[in-house]
Amino acid sequence: MISRKSAIFAGIILILITALLSSYITLQVNEYIMISQGDIIQAEEYMEMKDFYRKFNQIKAVIQSDYLIEPELDTMLEGAIKGMVSSLDDPYSYYLTAEEYQDFLIDVQGTYAGVGLSVSVIDNMITVVTAFKGSPAATAGITSGDRIIAVNGKDMDGSMMEEAVSIMRGEPDTQVKVSILRKDEVKEITLTRAIIDIPDLEYRMLDDEVGYLWLYRFDKGSSQNFLDALNDLHFQGMKGLVLDLRSNPGGLLDECVAIADMLLPQGLVLYSEDKEGTRVEYTSNQEMIDIPLAVLINQYSASASEVLSGAIQDHETGLIIGETTFGKGLVQTIRGPFKEGDVIKLTSAQYFTPNGRDINKKGVTPDIKVKELKAATDFVIENPNEELPLELDAPLTRGLKEVKNLIGEGE
């Protein structure tokens, strides 16, 4: 027979075990929601988490109770997540739904249905970087520097770039209305979506000695395409190269480093540092294509194109010609996909050129400054699907001249 004293003691043990189990279950629930498995958190951090969820649930309950129209819970949750990321005040960090992430992957691969625009955020406005040749946007006269202020009648600013891009995409032969701000004039343009096959580069011989390679962006496979183009230009008799990075918004860093490896001697291409000061170095090997080189840049050259032009400048393996670049010296990483296929793209590090230059918000300054002619811009707007005549392309004309001089010096 169990004594009363033993029963009381056993009861106390049972209460303690129950309390411990309750705490453990609560912790596991919160761990499932927020914490990576195996993490240990401080009590203070745990209380902050509880406060966060309490606030969130209070607001959700009020909306569900008092709002005129029954809200969609999934839409509310998506809005809350986007609000958290938006609070970082970083145009390069954003949340992507599963559908938006699939669009992102298609974009990187280079084929999609849409209007044929590459855009970026400048001064909190969605700004056209490139209208791809032959695309609905280019045919309608949209050009670099135009600001997209509305899509299908919905006003847009820089924080809504992903939404604007998503709306402009759609089934081929369907229409989308885009409002463009050019200088002080607003234009309403109706575009018919089409299959867009984005080239990552184009190339040709400018004369019997100098090759020209225009790299639109750094997509999957761009480094192999770059190498194939160089081999073909060499076969055609190339002795020097003009590499055009104007309006190149960037792309995949590993493709950029692979291209840099072809143009640089052994050494650093760039290095990055995160908030903990952890340094990651990207290097090139000893083999390189050793020919006279000029690189063209402008104010829309950003990210990976700044990595490449900055590395070439630091290693002094080519002349940088044009205008100061955009100044995006930040590295983004994608976390996820999560359970629903959604992801977060976050700024996780900052990169520096081989000589340690921080180009974020500063850009790469050219060795030789050459501005685009107004006549060139007018020609592109009026003749969107025609090649810009060489005599109107001041930076390219200067690049050709400099490479010819270098070829002459080497002979």
Residue 161, both tokens: 């770039």
CA 43, distance to chain mean position in Å, is 38
Q: Around Cβ 108, how many Cβ atoms within 10 Å?
A: 16
Closest C-alpha to 408, from 235, 209, 206: 209
C-alpha count within 13 angstroms, C-beta hemisphere, residue 363: 16
**Nearest-10 crossing angle of helices 161-168, 98-109:** 70
Q: CA-to-CA distance for 246 and 295, rounded, in angstroms? A: 9
d(CA 94, CA 334): 10
Catalytic machinery residues: 303, 314, 328
Distance CA 364, CA 299 (A): 9
> Residue 362: CA atoms inside 13 Å, Cβ hemisphere, count?
12
Residue 268's closest CA among 340, 204, 351?
351
CA angle in degrees (0–180, nearest 5) for 160-162-168: 100
Per DSSP bridges, beta strands 210-215 and 240-244 are: parallel
Q: HEC states along 9-45?
A: HHHHHHHHHHHHHHHHHHHHHHHHHHCCCCCCCCHHH
The answer to whether 269 and 257 have CB atoms below 8 angstroms apart is yes
212 touches 204 (CB < 8 A): yes
116 Cβ neighbours under 8 A, 6+ residues apart? 131, 132, 134, 135, 136, 137, 138, 194, 196, 198
CB 333 within 8 A of CB 281: no
The 3 state secondary structure assigned to 354-391 is CCCCCCCCCCCCCCEECCCCHHHHHHHHHCCCCCCCHH
Verify cis geometry, omega within 30 degrees of 0, for the bond prior to 337: yes
